[in-house]
Amino acid sequence: MNLNHLKTDQKYKTDPKDQRAYPRVPSCNLVSYAAFNQNGNITDHRMGRALDVSQNGIYLETPQSVTSDYISLVTSDLEDNMIEIKGKVAYSQKNGDAMFRTGIRFEGTHDENIRFAKKLIRVYHNRRTGYHISPGWSARF
């Protein structure tokens, strides 16, 4: 495992010195992930919860640490179609609640990254408000 750093935080909060290129959008979506080793073999398959998403990444909370550099994220959109994106683990943190939080950078094309993020945001917004966002809706990041 070659994570940039593994540390413990006390609680989740947005750091005002955040270095992300794009803003975070709050989320609370269930996401399935498969971890891969250097040879492309699956080493782990688990579930997590997306805490937030941006144009090029996601912040995932899991009960176990993510022990691989590369993962595949899978969830469903509003029409219950499976959506998938590959990602690279940027860092992992254990919080005070014995949960792990992992920053993942999307490894798809720009369009694939945007499509995945938009669909995740639509599902979250629809579940939270009870309103349906039409597929023609365009998020402004």
The tens digit of pLDDT for each residue in 31-48 reads 999 999 888 899 999 999
pLDDT reading at 139 higher than 60: no
Give residue 138's pLDDT band: very low, low, confident or very high (50, 70, 90). low
Cα separations in angstroms, 6 against 3, 63, 89: 7, 15, 11
Superfamily of segment(s) 23-128 = predicted glycosyltransferase like domains (2.40.10.220)
pLDDT for position 6:
34
pLDDT for position 20:
63
**Distance separating alpha carbons of residues 113 and 115, to the nearest angstrom:** 6
- The pTM for the full model equals 0.76
**Distance separating alpha carbons of residues 6 and 138, to the nearest angstrom:** 36
Give residue 135's pLDDT band: very low, low, confident or very high (50, 70, 90). low
The tens digit of pLDDT for each residue in 40-94 reads 899 999 999 999 999 999 999 999 989 899 999 999 999 999 999 999 999 888 9
Per-chain mean pLDDT for the chain = 82
Give residue 19's pLDDT band: very low, low, confident or very high (50, 70, 90). low
Mean pLDDT within 114-131: 86
Contact between residue 46 and residue 38 where contact means Cβ atoms under 8 Å apart? no
